[in-house]
Amino acid sequence: MLGDLYVRAGHLEAAANMHEYSRDIRERVLGSRHPDTIESVFALALIATHRFMFEDARILLAKGLDGLALGERLQLGPQARIHRQLVELSRHHDTTPTTFQAAAE
């Protein structure tokens, strides 16, 4: 949550650091295909997009989509949050929210 507050305040480097820390813990504890980990990956992709680091954002987006396709079934809370992230990412990248729906099924 602190990373999200940094994003809203415009402190993108601090936000990226917080989300990387969160992602690392989630990957270690929950695994790379857990919805919470995927949510962290998409948050990092959004931050990279806002920082105009588009290649990094595309790599993170692909990693997150792979995790969705191969990962655990999503519960309603993470599903809604991840869907919002993908809608935001679709404004900047070659993806659509329907990609999320196919991967979640």
Q: pLDDT means per 10 residues in the chain (105 residues)? A: 88 95 95 89 92 91 85 63 78 57 46
Alpha-helical regions (H) of 12-75: 12-30, 35-50, 54-70
- For the CA atoms of 43, 85, 50, 20, the dihedral, rounded to the nearest 10 degrees, stands at 0
Residue whose tokens read 């919470």:
36
Q: Which CATH number fits domain 2-104: 1.25.40.10, 3.20.20.70, 2.40.50.180, 3.10.180.10?
A: 1.25.40.10
User: What's the whole-model pTM score?
Assistant: 0.74
Q: Give residues with Cβ within 8 angstroms of 9, minimum separation 6.
A: none
Domain boundaries, the chain: 2-104
